[in-house]
Amino acid sequence: MREPVSIALIGAGVMGRQHLAYLQGLEGARLCAVCDPDPAAAAVAAEQGVAYFADYRQMLEQLRPAAVIVANPNSLHVSTALDCLAAGAAVLLEKPVGVDLREVRRLVAASAATGVPVLVGHHRRHNPLIARARQLIEEGALGRLVTVTALWQLRKPDSYFDIPWRREAGAGLLLTNLIHDLDLLRHLCGEVSQVQAFTSNGVRGFANEDSAAILLQFANGALATLTGSDAVAAPWSWELDSGENPVYPRQADQPCYLLAGTQGALSIPQLRRWHYAEADAGWHQPLQQSQETFESEPALRRQLEHFIQVVRREVAPLVSALDAGRTLALVEAIREAAESGRRCAPSLLSES
């Protein structure tokens, strides 16, 4: 038996504690510390029977863990991850990878220079249903991918916005929520070459957007729309449709992504497929329907299992800092397009 990987948690809030719950069941890892300046986190450390540190830098110095999970506020992601890389600890960094591309470039360079890996927590990519959808697209089940309709429409309760930063610029649904959908669209359909967008704060009137309508053109020629709002009483979103997190009552029969190609179509998360029996059939013939299957498993647990392999240098991160940086570049292009009214291309981000 190999030694379990020692992992420290930095940031023991809502997300950090979700990671802890899955970490407990994993044989390949052992929690060694909880770090959070909020003194209430000492109780979390005590519950887990591990050391508590208010300052994660002390923990890095004293314990030299093989790995860390970073789930602190977005604006601290890059500086925290840089400290961890300098201490030789592999990082599972919550999304977004950073708050702007300049700092993300520094992180990408540091990971390359130190050889210490960063896995970014776009956990939906680890969901087995997404892995199956990607495989179907790659195998050509849809033919040439032509159009994608993506929806993220739900209502957050007003009380969600009692926390002041959630009403401020930069913390709207683009960076908080649609970044997940945009990351999945990149994962499923490839890189985006240009975007157009409208955003609106017309329902809530805060400094950030509550709704967005986005047009995406992919490098492979496919075209997509993504419409999102956190202010509508509607059932179409990954959260409500996928059943990934039981805190959201499920709308199991509703899709959030509809992918259509020259040979077939696919709805996600249902993984229902449509195609014609004859290659040259068209709208006068019946479309055949079939149901794809997959083994359901929690995406956050699969992400941790993958992270252990990353820490052991057995696999490359499924979502590296560079890859997540490209998703952030897409968010920035959409924001720029909405503000300027122009078409915008995501900034190129590369290893060097």
Chain contacts with ligand NAD (rule: CB under 6 A): 10-16, 35-38, 56, 71-74, 76, 94-95, 121, 123
The Cα–Cα gap between 92 and 70 comes to 6
**What are 155's two structure tokens?**
């209502």
Q: Is 323 helix (H, G, I), strand (E, B) or coil?
A: helix
Centroid of chain to Cα 270 = 19
In this complex, which beta carbon is closest to ligand NAD, that of residue 131 or of residue 299? Answer: 299
The Cα–Cα gap between 209 and 171 comes to 8
Specify the DSSP class assigned to residue 344.
B
In this complex, which beta carbon is closest to ligand NAD, that of residue 182 or of residue 344? Answer: 182
- Comparing CA positions, the residue from 78, 152, 88, 156 lying closest to residue 120 is 78
- Comparing CA positions, the residue from 151, 304, 292, 159 lying closest to residue 235 is 151
Contacts of residue 25, defined as CB under 8 A and 6 or more positions apart, other chains included, come to: 301
Report cis status (omega within 30 of 0) of the bond before 96.
yes
CB of 200 to ligand NAD, least distance (A): 23
In this complex, which beta carbon is closest to ligand NAD, that of residue 12 or of residue 29? Answer: 12
Alpha-carbon radius of gyration of the chain: 21
CB of 248 to ligand NAD, least distance (A): 12
In this complex, which beta carbon is closest to ligand NAD, that of residue 15 or of residue 42? Answer: 15
In this complex, which beta carbon is closest to ligand NAD, that of residue 137 or of residue 304? Answer: 304
| Contact assessment for residue 181 and residue 226, using Cβ atoms and an 8 Å cutoff | yes
In this complex, which beta carbon is closest to ligand NAD, that of residue 39 or of residue 341? Answer: 39
In this complex, which beta carbon is closest to ligand NAD, that of residue 265 or of residue 330? Answer: 330
CB of 59 to ligand NAD, least distance (A): 10
CB of 64 to ligand NAD, least distance (A): 18
The Cα–Cα gap between 167 and 348 comes to 30
- Comparing CA positions, the residue from 68, 220, 83 lying closest to residue 146 is 220
In this complex, which beta carbon is closest to ligand NAD, that of residue 270 or of residue 303? Answer: 303
CB of 19 to ligand NAD, least distance (A): 9
CB of 115 to ligand NAD, least distance (A): 25
CB of 139 to ligand NAD, least distance (A): 28
The single-letter code of the amino acid at 37 is: P
Nearest residue to ligand NAD, scored by beta-carbon proximity: 13
CB of 121 to ligand NAD, least distance (A): 5
| Helical spans, DSSP H, in 64-127 | 77-86, 101-114
